[in-house]
Structure 1
Amino acid sequence: MFVRWGQLHNDLETAPFIHDEVRYNLLHRITEIEDSLCLRSDNGQLLFAQSPGQNGWLWMARSLAGDEEKRMLQGLVNYLDGHSLPGISGAPQTAYPFAVEYSRANNLRHSTQMTMEAYHCPQVNKPSNVRGDASVATLQDVEVIAQYLAGFMEDAHGRTVEPESQLESARGLVDTRKLYMWRVDGEAVSMANIAHRSRRHGRINAVFTPLRHRKRGYASAIVAAVSEQLLQENLTPMLYADLRNPSSNKIYRNIGFLPNGQISDIGFSPN
């Protein structure tokens, strides 16, 4: 009922998936990661992808009827018997039924960790009257980036980490030349990262402005600048935003990002 698939296959190029591609953009990245588990149903109407140690992502075609959807979900639960799965991510109407069946089969509890809105930006509304400009991060920014990554971890995930623990990650981001800083009078006041480029989209993440620099339009400015860069490459910018953070969602919508559907992150834990 299920077969392996991956980066070299065309399962992410079908019309039903492309219709949902913004919401499920992360699947492109997961298929590139070595040792990811990628499964599809025989008819191609269900895709499952999980990088090692992370939540699985589950896509199902919208055309599936109720009984067929239930049968395929149960089949996937059975296929994953004995496989370590910390959680599931997907459209709420897909992720929740899977979570219920998987929890029942494995004597687990399930709870929603986060609900995100997936956005795409076909046209940028560039903010006006914001001082500064954008540039690619350099090695001179590493210590500041480490501080911002620590702040991002606390804001986005509620985890307190020391900036020193983020220095290696900061250097890695600089090396990719995909991390951009918004600078005012030479000082880096905000950042945004192009996490991944797929055939049609560029995914933005790690958007962060420290508290002392907020309410000045810097986050809007750096996201708009990065989005313009992607549009110049003929890629549509996209990103995920935690719905618990109305401020960031408002910023993205004002720049021109349009909602494209929600993703629920559901975690599993022992009973």
Structure 2
Amino acid sequence: MKLTEYRDRSRFIEIAEPFLLKKEAENNLMLGLIGAFKRTIPAADVYTAAVVEDGEPAITMLMTPPHNLILSFNEDGMTETILLETVRALVKKGLHIPGVVGERKWTEAFAKIWSIETEGRAEIVMEQKIYRLHELAQRKRGEGKFILAELAHLPLLTEWMVDFMNYTNEPPITALQAAGRMKQFIAEKSVFLWMAEGKPVSMAKKSRTTKNGICVSLVYTPDEFRGNGYASSCVAELSEHLLKDFSFCTLYTDLSNPTSNSIYQKIGYQPIQDSIMISFSS
């Protein structure tokens, strides 16, 4: 087993991308970030590494601080020994990891070993499921209209983004930071709204692209508008729009929210992998 860290992102992409594309939808998070690396120079503190066993990647790792370390495993060749040696190598290098996210079985095992080796705590933040959509099963929409978000919506969508980040246990974000990111999303024409009675009631965003797919993210409906099918209509309309250019859409759900999981399956999304987010503390 050999752990290699890559300051040369092109070398990491060369090693990791063919491996990740074998399960393109499941690996949409890391592949999406790799796609971004191809378009822009990543920040200096972006961490990329791979564990190679018998000439094949066993684990690929990517971290964009302050976010968690993303883990992708070659499940056919993974062993507890490889995992133990990997964690020990990372600890020896003094790498600071706020948490991990990845396929549930091996990510949980990684976190358990990490907490033992660092004498720290590992806490489950969110149990997730990854879904994939090839074809819409439900085309009926609720009352309302699907539109592209505009700059006039920025103040409201800034509030929604702050609420969304808090709701999903993402790293804290200020209103100023949210406004900056949302302004960029609007400029990129990536945020969409469902309108009811002339006002925005739900939002969704097209996000990371991979070779054949694209992710739907930032799905949010304020409390006062929930239970009316607005999120379902918004996601269905956006997904149908995206499937004109991509073979499939993916999205993540929080398993503690049975309503959203049910909604997406009715639209036609199929579960493909259990994922987990775990945070570390001393």
Aligned residues: 265
Q: Is the 8 A contact 1:114 1:264 kept in 2?
A: yes
- Is 1:239 aligned to 2:251, yes or no? yes
Secondary structure of the structure 1 residue equivalent to 2:165: helix
Shift of the alpha carbon at 1:261?
0.9
Q: How does 1:11-160 map to 2 (within 5 A)?
A: 11-14=16-19, 17-31=20-34, 32=37, 33-35=42-44, 36-42=46-52, 43-64=56-77, 69-81=79-91, 82-157=94-169
- Is 1:230 aligned to 2:246, yes or no? no
Alpha-carbon separation, structure 1, partners of 2:143 and 2:280: 45
Structure 2 residues not aligned, in runs of 5+: none
Alpha-carbon separation, structure 1, partners of 2:210 and 2:165: 25
Structure 1 residues not aligned, in runs of 5+: none
Secondary structure of the structure 1 residue equivalent to 2:185: helix
TM-score, normalised to structure 1, is 0.89
Q: In the alignment, residue 195 of structure 1 is paired with which amino acid?
A: S
Q: Is the 8 A contact 1:149 1:166 kept in 2?
A: yes
Alpha-carbon separation, structure 2, partners of 1:52 and 1:164: 19
Q: Is the 8 A contact 1:23 1:263 kept in 2?
A: no
Alpha-carbon separation, structure 1, partners of 2:173 and 2:14: 39
Shift of the alpha carbon at 1:162?
7.7
Q: Percent same amino acid among aligned pairs?
A: 23
Q: Is the 8 A contact 1:99 1:266 kept in 2?
A: yes
Alpha-carbon separation, structure 1, partners of 2:99 and 2:166: 21
CA RMSD of aligned residues (A): 2.3
Q: Is the 8 A contact 1:30 1:50 kept in 2?
A: no
Q: In the alignment, residue 188 of structure 1 is paired with which amino acid?
A: P
Alpha-carbon separation, structure 1, partners of 2:225 and 2:174: 20
